[in-house]
Structure 1
Amino acid sequence: MAGSPDDTEQQFYEALQHADLDRLMELWSDEDEISCVHPGGPRVVGAAAIRAAFEAVFQQGAISVFPERVRRLVNGDTAIHQVLERVQVQGQDGPQSAWVIATNVYMKTAFGWRLVVHHASPGTAHDIQEVVQEPTTLH
Structure 2
Amino acid sequence: MKKAKLQAATVGGTPDDVEQAFYEALHNADIQQLMACWAEEDEIVCVHPGGPRLIGAGAIRQAFESMFSNGSVQAHPERIHKIESLASAVHHLVEKVDVLTPQGAQTAWVLATNVYHKTPQGWRMVAHHTSPGTQHDVADQGHQAPVLH
Shorter-chain TM band: over 0.9
1:25-104 matched pairs, under 5 angstroms:
25-104=35-114
Runs of 4+ that moved beyond 4 A: 135-139
Cα distance in 2, alignment partners of residues 133 and 127 from structure 1: 12
- Letter of the structure 2 residue corresponding to residue 25 of structure 1: M
Give the letter aligned to residue 72 of structure 2: A
The total of aligned residue pairs comes to 139
Provide the TM-score with structure 1 as the length reference: 0.92
User: Quick one: distance in 2 between partners of 1:13 and 1:136?
Assistant: 29
Cα deviation for residue 134 of structure 1 reads: 3.7
Q: 2:20 and 2:111 mapped to 1: Cα distance?
A: 16
RMSD of Structure 2 on Structure 1 (CA): 1.7
Q: Counterparts of 2:130 and 2:106 in 1: how far apart (Å)?
A: 19
Which position in structure 2 is the counterpart of 1:115? 125
- Secondary structure of the structure 2 residue equivalent to 1:30: coil
Structure 2 unaligned regions, length at least 5:
1-7
Match of 2:21 among 11, 32, 38: 11
Equivalent AA in structure 1 for residue 112 of structure 2: A
**What CA distance in whole angstroms lies between the structure 2 residues aligned with 1:136 and 1:15?**
34
CA shift, 1:111, in A, is: 1.5
Question: What is the Cα deviation at residue 95 of structure 1?
Answer: 1.9
What amino acid is the match of 1:40?
G
Gaps of 5+ in 1: none
Distance 1:100 1:79 in 2: 20
- 2:131, 2:121 → 1: CA distance? 29
Aligned partner of residue 107 in structure 1, secondary structure: strand
Counterpart CA distance in 1 for 2:93 and 2:145 is 21
**Amino acid in the other structure paired with 1:98:** A
